[in-house]
Amino acid sequence: MPNSTPSNVTNDDIIIIENCSKSFGEVVALSDINLRIRRGEVCFIFGPSGGGKSTLLRCINHLETIDSGRIVVDGIQLTEAKETIDQVRAEVGMVFQLFHLFPHLKVLENITLAQRVVRGRSKEEATEVALALLDRVGIPEKADVFPNQLSGGQMQRVAIARALAMNPRIMLFDEPTSALDAEMIQEVLDVMLDLAREGITMVVVSHEMGFAKAAADRMVFLSEGKIVEIGITSELFNNPKEARTKEFLDQILT
């Protein structure tokens, strides 16, 4: 039976967040966050808008700098030093709500560029990896088109392939389906479900409770910069301990 506070398995915690706080001027986005994510875990983060979900994800790969506290990713402590930041980013793939594909590059080049300039792979090797990934996300025929010729769902699948091409140990998803039309959400969730089955560590910010039920090991309810509740998916769904969690779940599930 997995424990909801897994402090006894420290050596297998791939992300360690300790006492982290972050403010933007007057606005407190994160206050004293403690969270440990185990290797291979799928961690689902949800909560009201402005609760700090994006900020938390962005701190994990240092797109935001924390004001205080400590973040260790796969044994590497995040500090201001450029090398450690680049080291961590290479281990962590990120998928954004608005995809952020590179519009001036074809789909294939979107996926090969970082492999070549960051990982130093040859053009042939990078292309091979990219084509295999496009196949995996179900759009092998789109290699030679520009992103603006894709549907939203296809764009997000390319963005996932682009991140996976770096062989990350961790994937961060920031509301990957929120900008999609209803009929495209499932195709992206299917790709994510596949990933979850393969055992890659995933931190997913989303409102897709169906995905959480199907794939998440634990769920984190984040509100006003604080972790209100954290628990095993089935337990948190069926009997949330905090009134606020229950209220939010009731709202979202009806």
Partner 1 sequence: MAVTTEVERKRPGMLPWVGDLSRLPWWIVVVAIVGGAAIFAIVTNRHWEAAYEFTKTGIRFTIILSITSFAIALVIGLLAGLGQLSSNMVFRNLSMLYVQVIRGIPIIVQLYFVAFVITPVAINLLNDLGGNMRLLIPLAGLGGALSRIHIRDIDMLYRAIAALTIAYGAFEAEVFRAGIESIQRGQMEAARSLGMSHLQAMRYIILPQAIRVVLPPLGNDFISMLKDSSLASILAIRELTHVGQLHRARTFRSWESLGVVAILYLVLTLSLSFLVKRMERRLAFAK
Interface region with Mg ion, contact rule CB under 5 A, candidates 16-24, 50-58, 124-132, 194-202? 50-58
Of these partners, partner 1, Mg ion, ligand ATP, none, which one is at the site of residue 51 (CB under 5 to 8 Å by kind)? Answer: ligand ATP
Judged on CB neighbours under 10 Å (0-12, 13-18, 19+), 67 is middle
Residue 53 found at the interface with ligand ATP (CB under 6 A): yes
Using the minimum distance from each CB to ligand ATP, give the nearer residue, 110 or 206: 206
Mention every residue, 6+ apart, whose C-beta is less than 8 A from residue 183: none
Query: How many degrees, rounded to 5, is the angle at CA 167 between CA 164 and CA 168?
Result: 85
Residue 50 found at the interface with ligand ATP (CB under 6 A): yes
Q: For tokens 């402005």, name the residue.
A: 50
Using the minimum distance from each CB to Mg ion, give the nearer residue, 127 or 156: 156
Interface region with ligand ATP, contact rule CB under 6 A, candidates 4-12, 45-53, 107-115, 129-137? 45-53
Residue 61 found at the interface with Mg ion (CB under 5 A): no
Judged on CB neighbours under 10 Å (0-12, 13-18, 19+), 226 is middle
Encode 17-45: b = buried (16+ Cβ within 10 Å), e = exposed. beebebeeeeebbbbebebbbbbebbbbb
Residue 27 found at the interface with ligand ATP (CB under 6 A): yes
Residue ranges that bind ligand ATP, judged by CB under 6 A: 24, 27, 29, 49-55
Residue ranges that bind Mg ion, judged by CB under 5 A: 54
